[in-house]
């Protein structure tokens, strides 16, 4: 089956499920699509167990041909991050640079070790023999919050601007830290490589800081070009080239493509919007990238829902995943609480509900699933992928559908300054 055929099928199904959600469930669009695709997948699996295998084989064949980790990490992610970063207020982000920086770096590392320790015993409790190094690998891929899931759901949660900037800002930047940790532990667990702390530090500087500088440089170059053009068609093409070319070049130079794209998006969304574009261009550019964001999110959440057809999920795995989801939330609460406590001691003013909101609002999404799927075939990989999938479903369906109620139930004060 050709790439065009698979893409056509996915877009058609996403459109139909979006329509059904709009007419019946009336959930946030991405969540609604994932719920319907999950139910659709489970019905097909049930029919397959009853002997009606044709539909299951066709659907499973389509899903199995989708290289999810490559499609997301090397394809969709850059466009989704750029679309999100364009709408982040840079001045508000800089006001909260210390809290965002601590949570996106030290917070992720702390969470990774807490999750790894808890996962090691939970896996054993449910009869899965997973070495500790693979538990660390699991901790590195499940600890960062997913900017795609977070930003998509915060739009409809009614969160204050302060809370939205805080959670979205952390989510946009913690990918760089998480991917460096994942790659280092991946090398140890899979390839038997030995990394010193200094080597990991150099890798982090190269990936994260190098990616940020490269993104700023690319954004600055395109910004100069935008100032010389007054045609929204050309300007939209330039931003597309910035994302596609910039992320490809960053990856080729072993820099963090996600961080590079985020920095470029912040520059275009703030300096470009203010200094280099007419009102007509801003309107067309916003509309274009909002549409890209909605379409790619719809397809992404559809694929997440359909993935259940090709995963080995028995009752024991579902229960293990739900127990693990609670443990991941506990690790998130601790890793958030430590920076908040430190910053409060240094005089920063936090809402008394900050830890609660930041914990429940830290959603996991497609990036965690994609990283898990990138692990080579092994018994450890199978259980890590399955448990990661259950945690992501819990995060999006339970946390995503209730974060709005939690926001409304707590004080509408700024979360952090």
DSSP secondary structure, 2-13, as one string: -HHHHHHHHHHH
CATH number of 68-409: 1.20.1530.20
Q: What is the pLDDT of residue 178?
A: 86
Q: What is the pLDDT of residue 411?
A: 56
Taking the CA atoms of residue 92, residue 97, residue 100 and residue 106 in that order, the dihedral angle to the nearest 10 degrees is: 180
- For 36-92, the DSSP string reads HHHHHHHHHHHHHHTT--HHHHHHHHHHHTS-HHHHIIIIIHHHHHHHHHTTS-HHH
Angstrom distance (rounded) from CA 348 to CA 342: 9
For residue 60, give both structure tokens.
């499973």
Q: What is the pLDDT of residue 404?
A: 85
**pLDDT tens for each residue of the chain, 417 residues long:** 787 888 899 999 999 999 999 999 999 898 999 999 999 998 988 888 887 777 778 778 888 888 888 888 888 999 999 998 998 989 989 988 888 999 999 999 999 999 999 999 999 999 999 999 999 999 999 999 988 778 777 767 767 777 788 888 888 888 778 888 898 899 888 877 776 777 777 888 888 899 999 999 999 999 999 999 999 999 999 999 999 999 999 999 989 999 999 999 999 999 999 999 999 999 999 999 999 999 999 999 999 999 888 887 899 999 999 999 999 999 999 999 999 999 889 887 777 888 999 999 999 998 999 999 999 988 899 999 999 999 999 999 999 999 888 888 885 554 444
For residue 73, give both structure tokens.
């990490």
| Predicted model pTM | 0.91
Q: What is the pLDDT of residue 407?
A: 84
Angstrom distance (rounded) from CA 37 to CA 13: 9
- Residue/partner pairs of 235-238 with CB below 8 Å, 24 or more apart: 235/277, 235/281, 235/285, 236/284, 236/285, 236/288
Q: What is the pLDDT of residue 415?
A: 47
Mean pLDDT of the chain: 89
Q: What is the pLDDT of residue 412?
A: 54
Residue 154 neighbours by CB distance under 10 Å: 23
Residues 389-408: pLDDT tens digits?
A: 999 999 999 999 998 888 88
Query: Which H/E stretch holds residue 118?
Result: helix 106-125
For residue 179, give both structure tokens.
């991917």
């Amino acid at each position: 089956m050709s790439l065009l055929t698979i893409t056509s099928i996915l877009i058609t199904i996403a459109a139909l499920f979006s329509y059904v959600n709009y007419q019946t469930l009336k959930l946030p669009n991405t969540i609604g699509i994932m719920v319907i695709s999950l139910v659709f997948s489970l019905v097909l699996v049930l029919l397959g167990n009853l002997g009606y295998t044709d539909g299951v084989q066709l659907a499973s064949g389509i899903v199995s041909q989708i290289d999810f980790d490559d499609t997301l990490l090397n394809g969709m992610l850059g466009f989704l991050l750029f679309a999100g970063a364009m709408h982040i207020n840079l001045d508000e982000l800089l006001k909260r640079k210390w809290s965002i920086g601590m949570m996106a770096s030290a917070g992720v590392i702390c969470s990774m070790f807490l999750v790894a320790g808890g996962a090691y015993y939970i896996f054993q409790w449910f009869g899965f023999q997973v070495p500790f190094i693979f538990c660390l690998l699991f901790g590195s891929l499940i600890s960062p919050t997913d900017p795609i899931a977070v930003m998509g759901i915060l739009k409809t949660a009614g969160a204050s601007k302060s809370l939205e900037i805080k959670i979205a800002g952390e989510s946009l930047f913690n990918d760089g830290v998480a991917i460096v940790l994942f790659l280092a532990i991946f090398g140890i667990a899979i390839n038997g490589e030995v990394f010193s702390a200094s080597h990991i530090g150099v890798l982090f500087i190269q990936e994260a800081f190098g990616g940020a500088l490269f993104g700023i440089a690319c954004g600055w170059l395109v910004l100069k070009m935008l100032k010389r053009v007054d045609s929204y068609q050309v300007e939209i093409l330039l931003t597309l080239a910035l994302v596609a070319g910039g992320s490809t070049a960053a990856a080729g130079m072993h820099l963090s493509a996600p961080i590079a794209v985020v920095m470029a998006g912040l520059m275009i969304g703030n300096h470009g919007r203010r200094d280099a574009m007419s009102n007509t261009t801003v309107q067309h550019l916003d509309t274009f990238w909002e549409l890209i964001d909605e379409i790619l999110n719809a397809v992404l959440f559809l694929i997440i829902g359909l993935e259940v057809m090709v995963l080995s999920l028995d009752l024991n795995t579902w229960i293990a995943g739900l127990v693990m989801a609670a443990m991941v939330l506990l690790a998130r609460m601790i890793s958030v609480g430590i920076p908040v406590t430190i910053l409060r001691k240094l005089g920063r003013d936090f809402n008394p509900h900050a830890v609660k909101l930041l914990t429940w609002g830290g959603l996991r999404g497609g990036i965690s699933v994609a990283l898990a799927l990138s692990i080579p075939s092994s018994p450890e990989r199978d259980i890590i992928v399955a448990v990661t999938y259950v945690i992501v479903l819990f995060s999006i369906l339970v946390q995503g559908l209730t974060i709005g109620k939690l926001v409304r139930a707590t004080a509408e004060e700024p979360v952090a300054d």
